[in-house]
Amino acid sequence: MKKHIIRKMIGAVLLGIIIAFGFSNPVQLFLSIPDEVVLFEGDQTDISSVITTASTVKKPDVISVDQNSDQITVNGESSGSDILDFTVGTFPIKKVDVKVLPDFKVIPGGQSIGVKLNTRGVLVVGHHLIHTTQGERSPGEIADIQVGDIITKINGQSVKKMSDIGTIVKKIGQEGHALEVTIVRENKELNKKLVPVKDKSDSTYRIGLYIRDSAAGVGTLTFFHPDSKKYGALGHVISDMDTKKPIVVHHGEIYSSSVTSIEKGSNGHPGEKLARFSNTDHKLGTITRNSPFGIFGEMNNEVRNGMYDKPMPIALSHQVKEGPAKILTVVKGSEVKAYDVEVVSSIPQKFPATKGMVIKVTDPELLKETGGIVQGMSGSPIIQDGKVIGAVTHVFVNDSTSGYGVHIEWMLEEAGINIYKEDRNGQRTAS
């Protein structure tokens, strides 16, 4: 019995020593040493380490290292890859992969833009009943054409706009034939048989579907890449207001937009920018992609916001820090202004994901004008320490002063601007 108690006591003491050792400062500092460091040419990053006495590099033209008693500073000299060896004396304890990316810059946006999307085919947004001599029915619903489906062809003929359907239905309906309707549903192409019926009120053949071929709204430009002419905006996907599903873009355009008034936000009630298209005869650029990270395409001409008109470096997700930052946005007319915000939290992301940051508006002027983050502000670029770090995306419904942000590297990737390249194993390396 005594031996059993003694063994338990010894075990408890050993467990306590192991736990205390695990929480000791040297061990914690060792565990904080990353497995990988990614930075741009001319950038540097600090690694705290009191237990290492030396670090060596194989390619001094790629990275250099400065070391003092409790910190190692890694400097990106030129693009490439190297391995940083951490040692205690001559004993190696850890290897860190270091990747230095070529210098990369974008011009931040902040301008209010008008967005017009034309869908791929015609989007089904609802059903309606047709009054016939046999009663009420919806031919589209009977044919199993669902809300959110995209009609791309009828009887093999391409459908691009709503008027295309009207013309075909009128012709085929008079002949009394069924329509072979090709739809796209969740990226799958399906064929449905639909028989138009005659509305007894006006003797017109109808299919019992509400449809839409375009959508329009306002948002904020995030960045423009002068070398490729590509841009990104909004920071989130555009969904149809009726189906709540992402709009599949056939093509679209962005235009200059002017903010006419602000519907101030409050807790439980997100506010909104009210704006109008400034000049529909002069489009700023095209829209080729609508993704969870925003809308993307190419600009016709270089754009400037009047504040940060020169290309600026970007920060990768692991380089973003909690603390002060600014957003660029418009609250009146077309003037872009900078407002103070706080990066409350930021997640170092290795793979594309939305909601990488939480930000809080701290600027008294912006809080007075808008109450915080409002609809239409999505896409406003976030600037920290002279770098573009991301864009505003969503407001918190129960706290209009706070919301989410997306990291800029994922928007660049969605725009088709690669700051990385991948090896055969799918791992990112310096380009």
Residues marked active site are found at 236, 363, 378
Integer Cα distance of 290 and 201 in angstroms:
41
Report the C-alpha gap between 402 and 25 in whole angstroms: 35
Count the neighbouring beta carbons within 10 Å of the beta carbon of residue 401: 20
* Other CB atoms within 10 Å distance of the CB of residue 216: 12
Mapping DSSP to helix (H, G, I), strand (E, B) and coil, where does residue 413 land?
A: helix
As separate numbers, helices (DSSP H) first and strands (DSSP E) second, the chain gives 6, 34
Nearest to 262 by CA among 251, 250, 270: 270
Beta strands in 157-292 (DSSP E): 157-158, 179-185, 188-194, 197-199, 204-206, 209-225, 230-233, 249-263, 271-277, 283-287, 289-291
- What residues does 337 pair with on adjacent strands? 329
Write the CB contacts of 131 (distance below 8 Å, at least 6 apart in sequence). 199, 200, 201
**The one-letter amino acid at 202:** D
3-state SS class at 21: helix
Neighbours of 423 (CB within 10 A): 8
Query: Nearest to residue 294, comparing CAs of 220, 215, 404?
Result: 220
For residue 201, the number of C-alpha atoms closer than 13 Å in the C-beta half-sphere is 6
Token readout for 247 is 């709009």
Tell me if residue 239 falls in helix, strand or coil: strand
The Cα–Cα gap between 285 and 224 comes to 11
Q: What is the rounded distance in angstroms from the CA atom of residue 166 to the CA atom of residue 147?
A: 19
The CB-based long-range contact list for 132-136 (8 Å cut-off, 24+ gap) reads 132/197, 132/198, 132/199, 132/200, 133/198, 133/200
**What type of residue is 173?**
G
